[in-house]
Chains A and B, each alone.
Chain A
Amino acid sequence: MTVSLADLPKGHEFAETRFKLTPEWVAEYVRAVEDKAIVSLPDRSYPPLALAACSFRALLEQASLPEGAIHVGQEINFSLSGDRESELVARASIASRGERQGWVLMGIDLNVASDTGKEIMSGRATITFPLNGEVAG
């Protein structure tokens, strides 16, 4: 059973995860977001946010989102190489955690590098969720 993000402190580092952007998964992602622009680019191109989504998916295998969690902010830098089938390495940590008026505000840093160590994405997702697991009505 995975731990909830709600139970993790500032400074927590997630286990490094390795994944590949398979052509099948990228196609599923592009269908889901209906990205008409990416299909006009060379075959191996993929949307930058696909990388963010896939690495966040790997993170969710280690820690579940608390009920009622809301994504409130996103920073992302990327430099995609186009070689989507090489193995990628994702590292994540809880960069900030604050509590106010019954809500937790949490910043999660996420970095993705190629298997040769070249950073291709970095960013921070900011989420908020109810402190005690109850949903504000």
Chain B
Amino acid sequence: MRQQTEQVRTFGENDSLPVVTKTITQEKINRYADASGDHNLLHLDPAFAATTQFGGTIAHGILVLAYVSEMMTTAFGEAWLKGGRLKIRFRGAARPGDTVTASGRVVRVEGGETKCEVECRNQTGDVLVSGDAEVAIR
């Protein structure tokens, strides 16, 4: 049974968003492939992936981006679902065994819009995802 109430704090400029940390495994990648229907061999087949510039399987970019969305939901609750915007670049690959941390910071609050810088990094600090997220606070 889900909670029917949400507790969302108010964020101001320069406030950090609550981080989300996940460990990537091949099992999780496979599970996401089944859910999304994206069975690209680069994600699933170690032999094929070994022939690419990545040298092994990598997580779907949109799986890693889901961690950013979870962070935004944690921070802004239903407001994120009812009026959100993401614009990001995938800058690096998340591999099985990696620990991925999504983080962000509010850069502007204006006219009911809250704009944030968001990113995901792996355990060595490599940027995997970077970009902006905006949420309408009504």
Task: Tell me the A residues contacting B by CB distance below 8 Å.
Answer: 25, 28-29, 31-43, 45-49, 52-53, 56-57, 60-61, 65, 67-80, 82, 135-137
Contacts and interface: CB of A to CB of B under 8 A. Distances in A.
B68 to A, nearest CB: 9
Given A72-B90, A74-B62, A45 B69 contact: no
Interface of B: 2-4, 6, 22, 28, 31-32, 34-38, 40-42, 48, 51-53, 60-63, 65-67, 69-71, 73-74, 77-78, 80-90
Nearest to A122: B85
B81 A41 contact: yes
A73 B131 CA distance: 10
Given A38-B70, A41-B77, A71 B89 contact: no
B40 A69 contact: yes
A53 B32 CA distance: 10
B61 A56 contact: no
B51 A39 contact: no
Nearest to A61: B37
B57 to A, nearest CB: 13
Contacts of B6: 40-41
B80 to A, nearest CB: 7
29 contacts: A32-B63, A33-B63, A34-B28, A35-B73, A37-B70, A41-B2, A42-B4, A47-B70, A48-B80, A49-B62, A49-B66, A60-B37, A61-B37, A65-B38, A68-B42, A70-B42, A72-B61, A72-B89, A72-B90, A74-B61, A75-B85, A75-B88, A77-B84, A77-B85, A78-B84, A80-B81, A82-B81, A135-B48, A136-B52
A100 B84 CA distance: 33
A74 B36 contact: no
A36 B70 CA distance: 7
Contacts of A71: 60-62, 90
A52 B28 CA distance: 19
A67 to B, nearest CB: 6
